[in-house]
Structure 1
Amino acid sequence: MATKGEETRQFIIEKAAPIFNTKGIAATAMSDIMEATKLSKGSLYVHFENKEVLACAAVDYNMKVLGDKLLVKISKFKTAKDQLFAYIDFFSNAVNPPLKGGCPLLNFGTEADDTNPVVKEKINKGIQLNQQLLENTIKKGIDKGEFKPQWNAAEFAIMVFAMMEGAHLMSRMSGNNDNMNIITNVLKKMIEENSL
C-alpha cells in the first residue's frame, strides 16, 4: 500500500506530466502545477525539491505511459510483421497523438539537448529502447522465417525511429498528417519488400 505522501506525489506527477509535455520544461511554471493539482506551492515543495526534480519525474512518467500504451498495442499481434505495422500505426496520427502534447521523446529531447543533461540522458535511453524493440522484432521475424535473412535489423530500426519522429514534427507543424501518411506508407512498403 502506498502512503498518503506517495499517493500525493504520484498525483502531482500525473497532473504535471501532460503540462510539461505540452508547454515544455522551461515554459512550465510551478503556478501551472498548482492550478492543475489545486495544491499550494508549499505542498508541492514538500514532495519535490524544485521544478527540475518534478520535471524529471514527469519525463519518466510520460515515457512510461507512452511505452505501456505501445506495448499493449503491439502485444495484440502474433507475427513480427504485424507487430512492426502496429508500432508504425501507434505513432501514425501526429495531430491526435497517444499522449497529450505529442511525443515526449521529441518534445523533451529537442528542449533538453543543450540545456538539461539529466533529461537528455533519459530521452537517449528512451530512443535506444525504441530502436531495440524494433530491432528485436525484426530479428524475431527473421528467426521465424517471416523476413529475409539478410535484412539489417539495426539499420531499419534507426530508420523507422528517425523517419517517424521527423514526420511527427512535420505533421505537428503543418497541423495535418499528410507527411506522416507518406512516411508510414514508405516504411510499410519496406517491411513488405523484406517479408517472405
Structure 2
Amino acid sequence: MSKADRTKQYIIEKTACIFNTKGYAGTSINDLIAATGLTKGSIYGNFENKDQVALAAFDYNFERLVTYMRGIMDTKHSVIEKLLVYPETYRNFLTNPILISGCPITNTSTEADDTHPLLAAKVEGAYNFWKNSLENHLNNAINNGEIKSDVNVHEFISVFISIIQGGILQAKVTRKMASMNLSMDYLERYILSLKK
C-alpha cells in the first residue's frame, strides 16, 4: 500500500464513526480535521470533497458490519442459527463497537434519501446486498429441507429487516433498550417459526 493509500485509509477509518453518528450534513470539515489531526488541505488532497469522504466512510462502515456478522455466522451450522445471529447482535447494539453509533444503513438512509443521491445509492446497494444474502440463505434452507417449503421468502425478508430497523429506531429515540429487546424477542420467534 502506498503512502497516499495509507493516508486515505487513515482518513476513512478516523471519520467513519463521525459520519455514521452525525450524518453527512452534521459532519463538518472541522470534525474531519479534529478526527484525523490533518489539515483541510491534506484531507482534500486525498479526497476531491466531503462527498467522497462520506461515500468511502459509508462503504467502510458497511463492510465492517458485514465482516463482523459474517464472522459470527460462519461459526454456525444451520440457517436458523445463522439468522439468530441478527437478534443476538442487534439486541446489544449500544455496546457493540461495530454498531454503537448505529446501523449505517438506518442512519444514512434517513438522511440521504432525498438530499444526497450518491449516498442514497450506496444505501440502496447495501440494502440490496442484505436482502440478497438473506434470500440466498432462505432458498438454500428450503432446498436442503431445513425450513418449511411454503415460506414466503420476500415477505419474511421484508418483515425481518423492518423489525431490526424499527427496533433500532425506537431504541435510539427513547434511549432505552426495552423496545429493542421486545423486537428482538419477536424476531427470534419469527425465525424459529421457519423450522419444519
What is the TM-score of this pair, normalised by structure 1?
A: 0.95
CA contact 2:93–2:99 (8 Å) conserved in 1: no
User: In terms of mean alpha carbon deviation, does 90-99 or 159-168 score higher?
Assistant: 90-99
What one-letter code is carried by the residue in structure 2 that aligns with 1:117? Answer: P
Matched, 1:6 2:5: yes
Q: Say if 2:157 is the partner of 1:152.
A: no
Give, in angstroms, the shift of residue 191 of structure 1: 2.2
CA distance in 2: counterparts of 1:186 and 1:100, whole angstroms: 22
Q: Which ranges of structure 1 fall in alignment gaps of 5 or more residues? A: none
Corresponding residue for 2:101?
101
2:185 matched residue in structure 1: 185
Q: What is the Cα deviation at residue 68 of structure 1?
A: 0.9
Task: State how far apart, in whole Å, the 2-side matches of 1:94 and 1:179 are.
Answer: 13
Aligned-partner residue type, residue 88 of structure 1: P
Match of 1:122 in 2: 122
Quote the sequence identity (%). Answer: 34
Per-residue deviation, 1:155: 1.3
- 1:134–1:156 distance in 2 versus 1, CA, 3 Å: same
Amino acid corresponding to residue 150 of structure 1 in structure 2: D
SS in 2 for 1:132: helix
**Over residues 85-111 of structure 1, what are the superposed CA-to-partner deviations in whole Å (9 max), with x where a residue is unaligned?**
012222222433433411110111000
Where do residues 1-196 of structure 1 align in structure 2 (5 Å cutoff)? 2-97=1-96, 98-196=98-196
Q: Deviations over 1:127-177 (max 9, x none)?
A: 111112122212222122221110112210111101110110101111122
* Structure-2-length-normalised TM-score: 0.95
Q: Tell me, yes or no, if the aligned pair for 2:20 and 2:104 is still in contact at 8 Å.
A: yes
Listed one character per residue, the Cα deviations across residues 2-34 of structure 1 (whole Å, up to 9, x for unaligned) are 100100010000001001111111111111111
SS at match of 2:58: helix
- CA distance, structure 2, for counterparts of residue 88 and residue 153 of structure 1: 18
* RMSD, aligned CA: 1.2
1:102 partner letter: G
- SS across alignment from 1:26: helix
Task: Output the amino acid matched with 1:72.
Answer: G
Q: Separation in 1 of the partners of 2:93 and 2:5?
A: 33
User: How many residues get paired?
Assistant: 195
